[in-house]
Amino acid sequence: MELASDFKEFLQKIRPTPSQREDLQTGHKTLRERLNADEDLKKCIISDFLQGSYKRSTAIRPKGERRSDVDIVVVTKLSEDEHRPADAMDLFKPFLNKHYNGKWRQQGRSFGIELSYVELDLVLTSAPSEAEVGILESDAIMSDDDLEEAEDWRLNRSWVALGSRYRSDARTLLVEAKNEPEWKSRPLRIPDRDANKWESTHPLAQLTWTRDKNDNTNKHFVNVVKAIKWWRVEKYEEPKHPKGFPLERIIGECCSDGIGSVAEGVVKTMEKIVSQYSLTVLAGGKPNLPDYGVATHDVFKRISADDFKKFYDQVKVGAELARRAFDSQDRTESGNLWCELFGSKFPKPPEKNGGGGGAGGSGRGGYTPPTGPAVPGNGRFA
């Protein structure tokens, strides 16, 4: 059964809580305000924007003692010809020492900032072309709205952020945004300190691809991603990879368009992973999955064949269990099987099979047909 209302409750339980979202917003807004107020850095900053699962609406609630995290991209005026990756990153260290002393660490291509309530990942880019500067300063790029909040998001100059729709010209601009072609964005370049070179990345392509995929799956894709991410962290501590965007990428590769529910999406995605990569695993290999917008970047590059084999075997077990849950016509049995797959965050079904919900399974408690006429006073309708 699809058990739509149970899945709705489950998804609410695995999304970041309102307080966690507030922590994320406090963390990234404070960082961005400080960057743009810094006397040394603000001269070389063009814009800043959010990327990652928080922006794409595919983030799940951190499990255990882990904190929520958010990625911030800072677009700079720094020329690759004049700044080596290490030099560019060094420019940000005085700022980090001033505001986050003892709380930041250098990573290969970014800075990690660990606060008591949130983790921030700060990524800087080299200078874009002059033609791209305007759109990089627009609401479409700099808005904090995620894909679930802003279902009408468009990558063009006319789109207006949710918080600015009080403007008198907002309605006119949104009509223009709907009909105006989207910006053909180019990859941004980020510093790889370890490799001593600038590398391409395309967070905007990841965002537009996810939006389009979500539209093509009746708005279920981002929830399928969240559900499968939760299955991974709930059921398996090892292997650690794939997780994050690589996991999201393989889900995107295997999730069918036109799905009618999250349940259907979970079943079909897991089964597609099993069927599509059986020969790859048999040959001792792993997938090559190019990043959206950067075909030369394999997002599975750092995942070992052994880890992928372990992940594949886990998906195979999960796919069989999900199929049994989806095909079951018994309300209680189906609910118990989904609970077995996803853990305690999935609502427990009623003890007795109500027989209701049918193929759609939208009810929590189902419907029990009467066995005879109601007798006043017997408590049936009390």
List the catalytic residues. 69, 71, 121
Give the H/E segment covering residue 284: none
SS3 211: helix
Give the H/E segment covering residue 235: helix 221-235
- Rounded to an integer, what distance in angstroms lies between the CA atom of residue 315 and that of residue 273? 8
CB-based contacts of 263, cutoff 8 Å, min separation 6: 1, 2, 3, 4, 7, 322, 325, 326, 338, 361
Q: E-assigned strands of 118-269? A: 119-125, 188-192, 197-201
- Rounded to an integer, what distance in angstroms lies between the CA atom of residue 364 and that of residue 349? 7
Instruction: Check if the beta carbon of residue 221 is closer than 8 Å to that of residue 260.
Output: no
Q: Residue 320's CB: how many other CB atoms inside 10 A?
A: 14
Is the preceding omega at residue 203 within 30 degrees of 0, hence cis?
Answer: no
Amino acid at 197: K
Instruction: Check if the beta carbon of residue 123 is closer than 8 Å to that of residue 4.
Output: no
Strand order in the sheet with 111-114: 45-51, 69-76, 119-125, 111-114, 104-106
Helix axes 305-327, 221-235, angle to 10 degrees: 110
Q: Which two tokens stand for residue 34?
A: 């400080």
- Rounded to an integer, what distance in angstroms lies between the CA atom of residue 349 and that of residue 276? 33
